[in-house]
Chains A and B, each alone.
Chain A
Amino acid sequence: MAHHGEHHYNLDQRFDFTASIKKSILTVLVIGAVLLGIGVVMAMTGGHHEEGAEAGTHAFHWYERLYASIWVNNVFFTGIAIIGVFFFAIQFAAQAGWSAPIIRVMLSLGSWLPIAGVLMLATFFVANHDLFHWTHSYLFDKNDPHYDKIIDGKGAFFFWPMEKGTFPVFYIARMVIFFGFWVFFFNKFKQISAQEDQLGGSSHWFKMRSWSAFFLIFFAVSSSISAWDWVMSIDTHWFSTLFGWYVFASWFVSGLSAITLIVLFLKGKGYLEMVNENHVHDLGKFVFGFSIFWTYLWFSQFLLIYYANIPEESVYFIERLESDIYGPFVFVNLGLNFFLPFLVLMTRDAKRHGVFLKLVCTILLVGHWIDFTLMVQPGTLGHNGGIGLLEVGMFLVYGSAVTFVVLGALAKRNLIAKNHPMLEESYNHHI
């Protein structure tokens, strides 16, 4: 409606993180932990030792599966957290008005970042040889029978300025710098936003826009490189020039789904009454559009490699498509992350009504988690991978922990940036 009436919303509303919500999240966490426990016991007693006999390959240990699972969730949930900050910054860089009441929901996802950084570093130090083939020092020793000329050529990217095969200074430094700056920008945004609540005026908005621009430049580089570091380097020989974008797209769809789900959850609890179906429609369009964007990148990567059929490139897809374990998941991946959102969210009504969006966003979170599992597992676990109780349990544990942290951060401050200069515009948002 174009009637510019007066709006009286409660701008001081604060999310009440009640004991019952906490209890449901902790229930999921406990279920996840139990499944994880059973999965670990099954993996310990399962025994896949026959492959270890092959010359040159190391024996498979059950804990590698645990490490791989932790790594998948580290990368996946770090992505969701940083996308929250990224989408927040985009709102300011694009001078968007429609999203003014929900920007704090986006920013709250970033509160997982410090924990994610610590987990990522710790996992790397504990699991380095089991996750990353390039960490073995014999690959860089010309006298060793396992000397690998290709990995030696890439060695400086990990070990500079140290000698190749020693301590990966450059790699660790990148991880620390990325997380450090991401957390720095996240805190900066939080701080400016808090000042705006107290002082009002438009100067904080302009300040936020400048900081957003700097963050976006940093994120453009760091998101790509972190995708090479944390995911692509697992398949050390292989490379794909659009891999950074591919991981970013997967992160972005997951992050948008998480934002949409939290907004709908808060609306269901009676908060954010100024967020109407027009805002929900916009979020739905983002989820719909970027699901197609993800598919576009998936297919661009696949088609060129498939068509050119160069062995060092096509090995990546052969490892997945020809495998009994991963083959079906390649198609599950496309089904959940492309066909389902594409067909369900195509109509206007589906994007405007919470029921469809809740369904699709939940499935997309699972779908993109499967996508990351498919990126990590073949290179780390080979034919010992798969999605079993261990993986599902770990996903639930991480998911509920992230939800707990994010909702806890939301509850600490006002839900709405009450002095945001574009609130009035967003009340009248109509599409």
Chain B
Amino acid sequence: MERDTHFILGVYDDEDVLLHAVEKVRGSGVKIHEVYSPYPVHGLEHVLGYKRSKLPIAAFLFGMLGTSLALTMQLYMMKFDWPMIIGGKDFAAFPDFVPVSFEMTVLLAAFGMVGVFLITSNLKPWAQPRIFDVRSTDDKHIMAIDLANNSSVDLDKITEILNESGATEVNKKSFE
């Protein structure tokens, strides 16, 4: 079987049932591909065993880049390129540089974080998202299980586990 093409889907009505179901399904050795929900479910990433995002590190590095760029730019402009006497201060007067450096830090940290997030989440504008079940944008939670990832567990067994865990429907979905 090819990877990422054949899925079995558990459909859930209620977020509490879903959270317990995720624990049960994972507990019985079935690997979950992803859970799609119409709204953020509190604690879902925890029961799915997701590690914390590394996005803050990207934010910090982009922030530092912003600070360095802003300081370099101001130092170059004010000290070397076009020195001007303003208020009798030094050409390279550090306190004057702080507001611009602060703003550049925030700007680059924000832009960098959004950019990294879009790239790592595969949210590029031309991406073709795969819809497992359109009802996951309305009122159903969809648990997707990649069959290729669970070749050791029998298909009927997975269906049984999903039904037992409180799924209102169990469907199959294949992608080209």
Contact = CB atoms under 8 A, between A and B. Distances in A.
Nearest to B86: A307
Given A307-B87, A348-B52, A2 B42 contact: yes
Interface in B74-91: 87-88
B19 interface: yes
Contacts of B42: 2, 430
Nearest to A1: B43
B95 interface: yes
Interface residues of B, number: 16
B49 interface: no
9 contacts: A2-B15, A2-B41, A2-B42, A303-B99, A307-B87, A307-B96, A309-B88, A430-B42, A430-B43
A144 to B, nearest CB: 37
B98 interface: yes
A423 B16 CA distance: 21
Given A307-B87, A309-B87, A299 B98 contact: yes
Nearest to A296: B102
A2 B20 CA distance: 10
Interface of A: 1-4, 299, 302-303, 306-309, 346-348, 430
A419 B134 CA distance: 45
Contacts of B99: 303
Contact of A302 (B16, B52, B95): B95
B173 interface: no
B64 to A, nearest CB: 12
A306 B95 contact: yes
Contact of B19 (A3, A302, A303, A309): A3
A303 B88 contact: no
A4 B43 CA distance: 12
Interface string B123-150: 0000000000000000000000000000
Contacts, number: 30
B26 interface: no
A145 to B, nearest CB: 34
B43 A2 contact: yes
A303 B52 contact: no
A366 B41 CA distance: 42
A170 B87 CA distance: 40
Contacts of B96: 303, 307
A399 B164 CA distance: 61
B95 A1 contact: no
9 tightest Cβ-Cβ pairs between the two chains A and B: A2-B43, A2-B42, A306-B95, A1-B43, A303-B95, A2-B19, A309-B87, A307-B87, A299-B98
Interface in B22-50: 41-43, 46
Given A303-B96, A303-B98, 17 more contacts: A1-B46, A2-B19, A2-B41, A2-B42, A2-B43, A3-B43, A299-B98, A302-B95, A303-B95, A306-B95, A307-B87, A307-B95, A309-B87, A309-B88, A346-B60, A347-B56, A348-B56
Contacts of A308: 87
A308 B95 CA distance: 12
Interface string B53-65: 0001000100000
B147 to A, nearest CB: 29
A408 to B, nearest CB: 40
A306 B60 CA distance: 30
B98 to A, nearest CB: 7
Contacts of A4: 16
Contacts of B16: 2, 4
A2 B40 CA distance: 13
Contacts of A306: 95
Nearest to B43: A2
Nearest to A300: B99
B92 to A, nearest CB: 15
Contacts of B19: 2-3
Nearest to A431: B42
A307 B95 CA distance: 9
Nearest to A306: B95
Contacts of B56: 347-348
B143 to A, nearest CB: 16
B40 to A, nearest CB: 11
Contacts of B98: 299, 303
A147 B97 CA distance: 42
Nearest to B96: A307
B111 to A, nearest CB: 20
A178 to B, nearest CB: 35
B160 to A, nearest CB: 24
A6 B43 CA distance: 18
A2 B16 CA distance: 8
Nearest to A2: B43
B123 to A, nearest CB: 24
A309 B98 CA distance: 17
A406 B47 CA distance: 41
